[in-house]
Amino acid sequence: MARRKLSSDINVVPYIDVMLVLLIIFMITAPLMTQGVDVELPKTDSQPMPAPQEPLILSVDADGRYYLNKGDDTSRSLDDRELTARVGELFKTAPDTMVLVQGDTKVSYGEVAHAMTLLQQAGIKKIGFVTQPQDTHPR
């Protein structure tokens, strides 16, 4: 009687199947995990600025509502008083905080200027704007 030789190799096919299933699950769920406010940014030719620390982002949507990216509830709009209070608290803990204003192209300039005034009243000295790169095609 001939005996078969035992194989000590590990069968990795089931592990590959599990890995592919997990890959598909992550590919489907990753786009759903993005948070924030849907804002259509203006396009400019400016270059991105390096930030030494993560900046605070104030979003102004097309209806002129304010949203802050700090805290637990980023999907709730803030009124003027709430915005000034929350930014003021953050400024006390980190006075060098930079605030980036992300204004929708459909919102009036006056709303963005009002947001900047509220940030200055809260003590913020460093304010920047978020834009998207402009298409390379001339107008």
The confidence score (pLDDT) of residue 16 equals: 92
Please say if the pLDDT value at position 52 is more than 70: no
DSSP state for residue 27 in the 8-state scheme = H
Fold of 43-133: Nucleotidyltransferase; domain 5 (3.30.420)
Please say if the pLDDT value at position 32 is more than 90: no
Tokens of 60: 């102004």
Q: What is the average per-residue pLDDT within 9-17?
A: 88
The confidence score (pLDDT) of residue 55 equals: 74
Please say if the pLDDT value at position 94 is more than 90: no
DSSP SS3 for 71: coil
User: 12 Cβ partners below 8 Å, 6+ apart?
Assistant: none
